Amino acid sequence: MLSTDPIEKHFRLKPFQVAALKKLGILTLRDLLYHFPARYEEPGIQKQISETAAGDRVTLYGTIRNWKTGKTFHGRMPVAKAILDDGTKTMRLTWFNQPYLAKMVAENALVRVVGKVGTKDAFSMANPEIEVVDHVPLDHGVTLFAGENNEHHMPVYPESRGISSRWILYAVHKLLSHGMALQFVDPIPSRILKKYNLPTIGTALVWIHAPKQNKDSIAARKRFAFEEIFLIQLGKQRDRAHIDQLSSFRISKKEEETKAFMQRFPFKPTKAQQSSIDAILEDFSTTHAMSRLLEGDVGSGKTFVAAVTAHAVTTMHPQEKDFGNLQTAYMVPTEILAKQQFESFISYFGHLPIAIGLLTSHGCKKFPSKISATEATDISKAQLLAWVKNGEIPILVGTHALIQKNVKFKNLAYVIVDEQHRFGTAQRAALARKNDTAVHLLSMTATPIPRTLALTMYGDLDLTLLDEMPHGRKPIITKIVTSDTRTYAYEAIRRELVLGRQAYIICPRIDEPDPTKEMALIAKSVTEEAARLKKEVFPEYEIGILHSKMKPAEREDTMQKFCKNELHILVATSVIEVGVNVPNATVIMIEGAERFGLAQLHQLRGRVIRSNHQTYCYVLSESKGVISKGRLKALVTAKNGFELAEHDLRLRGAGELYGKRQWGITDVGMEALKNLKMVEAARTEAIAFIKNDPTGKNHQKLWQAAKERTANLHFE
């Protein structure tokens, strides 16, 4: 019996059961052993049937007879029924949806049954756990000692139609009794296990599936959580060590020039902006390539940090030359944003002899043009690429068109990826690898994520937070509205519109497994809602729509109109990130708020916090639940997105943070994300490890495990 054996080799399974197991991700015996319980049922008190009362949770022993299978009275649900007899009385047992039980437990078998006695009928039980045993424990029925032998915690596993928790328990016990837990080589060095008081892999596998006491399963889960984070960290730290080895362009600090550049802006940098710039310039002044993540709420001024640091790079000559410029590439996820940032960079760099290019799949531009020193002009892609290649264009702004093979730079030294969560890891890496020499990389994101998650997913990057908003911003006023007070929100929106301002209305998320269908449904709801608002609520205003079914040109057109205030209200989906600066938009209404994570809601309302006017957010929740109300209240008081992300993590767990997105971290691994100490310990150990054995040649197994663990990790 090998852990790599396919599961069918050792268990007699029907095709639908094989399919159900596959759905649970279980193909091999190892997979089965790594299918951990979702929870443990408290043991019931051991009783004799005659002693039971309605509603009791009990453990009973007896013989089983009169198996019957059939269908439920109303519907088509299969049921299995049997009688349990312990000599004092009989109990009627019924199972729904588990007809195979009748085949697994023979007539007259001696069994243990754990479950809740019916509340109406004290001699019946529905869906109890059942297990064949070879003897009745000695103390059974002797109330004096009851409880002593009662430390039995029944694991409950994630199930799938056709494979019940009960079947998994039985199968896992079979593997454990064959000593399979001992087949695994522990990837965690024993020194580390001892240091953190973690059980070995063999012990942990037994404890997680068959805990004798509560603390066994807790210790086992802790161990697996540590293991997962440790392996991920190891993979990330290895990547980091690799980057650190590469030499990069050294960019000397020119404090006076940088200061002069900053002074041209109509505002003073925030403390957070200044310290981010300092950290980046410090990185530049060494010979190593920088790898940094800049996290800051929408409107925290990330572009300023990008521009000032790009200035430091592009005003440098290439090594050993006294002419020419080092180059900067600035990648953004959408065409609209590319144009906007191109314009911004022109206003920042226009006074300097630094040309700026714009590259998108729909056209190219260059600033300045041949005829005007103050204007940009359309040029052919071939011409733009030629100038980028010979170094005449030091700053190139663009969409993922920048990654294409035919885009070649002469002296690319700095890559900035804006809204980096919109790109895949491979896309980011492709841009960073444009050169023989490693480039400095600045990734920017407005996705607020808790510290533990950032340290794990971005363990290979240095982290900088922009946790401060520019001075003069009035904090957004957020109000929770229910359907009864919806008109109140509409009136509030109208007050803004009357002042000449604009509004966003976000339609609810629609959960639909098929993404094409989902997009169609959302498009429909956006269109209908816009029509309804025009007819019933805002007939006097122009209303536009934005959803992902629209063609890029249509979307662009709508955005342009909204920018020019030709549209007063924009009804949009949450899927579309507008990401464009429309300071005149001062109010946003979010429908179906309970379907979003707090961090997501915060990002949505971020669309209106770019203005110096007072801004408003109306959060619509139909839910009457106290928890979801309390959760939404945090939105009213929180200072920034990080705070909300931490809040969501504590309240709902990491799995719920950004909807139901999967990142390739298991549920047990997710548990670790609630524990900063554990994440930090795993990180410290991984860093120490890489220091001692940078190539992993003394720890091949561990290396392999880390590689496998990080291979399908993704967070975008």
Q: Should residue 333 be labelled a site residue for ligand ADP when binding is judged by CB under 6 A?
A: no
Q: Which stretch binds ligand ADP (CB under 6 A): 91-99, 133-141, 265-273, 591-599?
A: 265-273
Instruction: Give the residue with the Cβ less far from Mg ion, 576 or 620.
Output: 576
Contact (Cβ atoms closer than 8 angstroms) between residue 441 and residue 580: no
> Which residues share a beta bridge with 440?
414
Q: How far is CA 631 from the centre of its chain?
A: 19
The runs of H, that is alpha helices, within 298-424 are 302-314, 335-349, 381-389
What residue 100 binds from Mg ion, ligand ADP, none (CB within 5 to 8 A, per partner kind)?
A: none
What SS3 state is found at 540?
A: coil
Residues 467-486 that bind ligand ADP (CB under 6 A): 470-471
What residue 152 binds from Mg ion, ligand ADP, none (CB within 5 to 8 A, per partner kind)?
A: none
Identify the residue among 302, 311, 440, 647 touching ligand ADP (CB under 6 A).
302
Least Å from the CB of residue 644 to ligand ADP: 16
CA end-to-end distance (rounded Å), the chain: 40
Residues 417-476 that bind ligand ADP (CB under 6 A): 446, 470-471
Burial degree of 208 (CB within 10 A; 0-12, 13-18, 19+): buried
Q: Should residue 334 be labelled a site residue for ligand ADP when binding is judged by CB under 6 A?
A: no
What residue 450 binds from Mg ion, ligand ADP, none (CB within 5 to 8 A, per partner kind)?
A: none
Question: Which one-letter amino acid corresponds to residue 304?
Answer: F
Instruction: Give the residue with the Cβ less far from ligand ADP, 96 or 267.
Output: 267
Contact (Cβ atoms closer than 8 angstroms) between residue 309 and residue 294: no
> Which residues share a beta bridge with 61?
112
Q: Should residue 273 be labelled a site residue for ligand ADP when binding is judged by CB under 6 A?
A: yes
Least Å from the CB of residue 466 to ligand ADP: 7
Instruction: Give the residue with the Cβ less far from ligand ADP, 269 or 391.
Output: 269
Instruction: Give the residue with the Cβ less far from ligand ADP, 86 or 467.
Output: 467
Burial degree of 613 (CB within 10 A; 0-12, 13-18, 19+): middle
- What CA dihedral angle connects 316, 321, 324 and 329, to 10 degrees? -50
Give the residue at shortest CB distance from Mg ion: 302
Contact (Cβ atoms closer than 8 angstroms) between residue 615 and residue 608: yes
Residues 598-627 that bind ligand ADP (CB under 6 A): 610
Q: Which stretch binds ligand ADP (CB under 6 A): 103-111, 262-270, 363-371, 687-695?
A: 262-270
The runs of H, that is alpha helices, within 351-422 are 381-389
Identify the residue among 224, 304, 596, 658 touching ligand ADP (CB under 6 A).
304
Contact (Cβ atoms closer than 8 angstroms) between residue 366 and residue 376: yes
Identify the residue among 187, 199, 211, 269 touching ligand ADP (CB under 6 A).
269
Q: Should residue 300 be labelled a site residue for ligand ADP when binding is judged by CB under 6 A?
A: yes
Instruction: Give the residue with the Cβ less far from Mg ion, 98 or 427.
Output: 427
Q: Which stretch binds ligand ADP (CB under 6 A): 252-260, 298-306, 590-598, 703-711?
A: 298-306
Closest CA to 46 of 106, 82, 80, 86: 86
Which residues, 6+ apart, have CB-to-CB distance to 133 below 8 Å? 61, 110, 111, 112
Give the residue at shortest CB distance from ligand ADP: 301
Between CA 328 and CA 310 the distance in angstroms is 6
> Which residues share a beta bridge with 478?
617
Residues 248-307 that bind Mg ion (CB under 5 A): 302
Least Å from the CB of residue 610 to Mg ion: 10
Instruction: Give the residue with the Cβ less far from ligand ADP, 273 or 420.
Output: 273
Instruction: Give the residue with the Cβ less far from ligand ADP, 162 or 301.
Output: 301
Contact (Cβ atoms closer than 8 angstroms) between residue 111 and residue 132: yes
Least Å from the CB of residue 671 to ligand ADP: 32
> Taking CB under 5 A as the rule, which mask of x and - marks residues 302-341 in contact with Mg ion?
x---------------------------------------
Between CA 680 and CA 226 the distance in angstroms is 10
The site for ligand ADP, by CB under 6 A, has a size of 17
What residue 270 binds from ligand ADP, Mg ion, none (CB within 5 to 8 A, per partner kind)?
A: ligand ADP
- What CA dihedral angle connects 467, 468, 469 and 470, to 10 degrees? -140
Between CA 318 and CA 322 the distance in angstroms is 8
What are the Cα distances from residue 679, in Å, to 658, 661, 670, 710?
Answer: 20, 21, 11, 16
- The answer to whether the bond into 353 is cis (omega within 30° of 0) is no
Identify the residue among 17, 164, 248, 303 touching ligand ADP (CB under 6 A).
303
Between CA 205 and CA 221 the distance in angstroms is 9
Burial degree of 668 (CB within 10 A; 0-12, 13-18, 19+): buried
Instruction: Give the residue with the Cβ less far from ligand ADP, 235 or 269.
Output: 269
Q: Which stretch binds ligand ADP (CB under 6 A): 252-260, 285-293, 299-307, 615-623?
A: 299-307
Least Å from the CB of residue 195 to ligand ADP: 41
Q: Should residue 596 be labelled a site residue for ligand ADP when binding is judged by CB under 6 A?
A: no
Instruction: Give the residue with the Cβ less far from ligand ADP, 345 or 490.
Output: 345
Q: Should residue 301 be labelled a site residue for ligand ADP when binding is judged by CB under 6 A?
A: yes
Contact (Cβ atoms closer than 8 angstroms) between residue 675 and residue 229: no
**Helical (H) or strand (E) element with 238:** helix 214-245
Residues 156-215 that bind ligand ADP (CB under 6 A): none
Contact (Cβ atoms closer than 8 angstroms) between residue 476 and residue 504: no
Which residues, 6+ apart, have CB-to-CB distance to 25 below 8 Å? 31, 35
| Concatenated DSSP letters of 475-517 | PPEEEEE-GGGHHHHHHHHHHHHHTT-EEEEEPPP---SSHHH
Instruction: Give the residue with the Cβ less far from ligand ADP, 304 or 663.
Output: 304
Q: Should residue 296 be labelled a site residue for ligand ADP when binding is judged by CB under 6 A?
A: yes
Least Å from the CB of residue 444 to Mg ion: 7
Identify the residue among 2, 119, 142, 267 touching ligand ADP (CB under 6 A).
267
Contact (Cβ atoms closer than 8 angstroms) between residue 581 and residue 610: yes
Q: Which stretch binds ligand ADP (CB under 6 A): 301-309, 501-509, 564-572, 679-687?
A: 301-309
Contact (Cβ atoms closer than 8 angstroms) between residue 588 and residue 535: no
What residue 248 binds from Mg ion, ligand ADP, none (CB within 5 to 8 A, per partner kind)?
A: none
Instruction: Give the residue with the Cβ less far from ligand ADP, 219 or 306.
Output: 306
Instruction: Give the residue with the Cβ less far from ligand ADP, 267 or 488.
Output: 267
Where on the chain is the footprint of Mg ion (CB under 5 A)?
302
Where on the chain is the footprint of ligand ADP (CB under 6 A)?
267, 269-270, 273, 296, 298-304, 446, 470-471, 581, 610
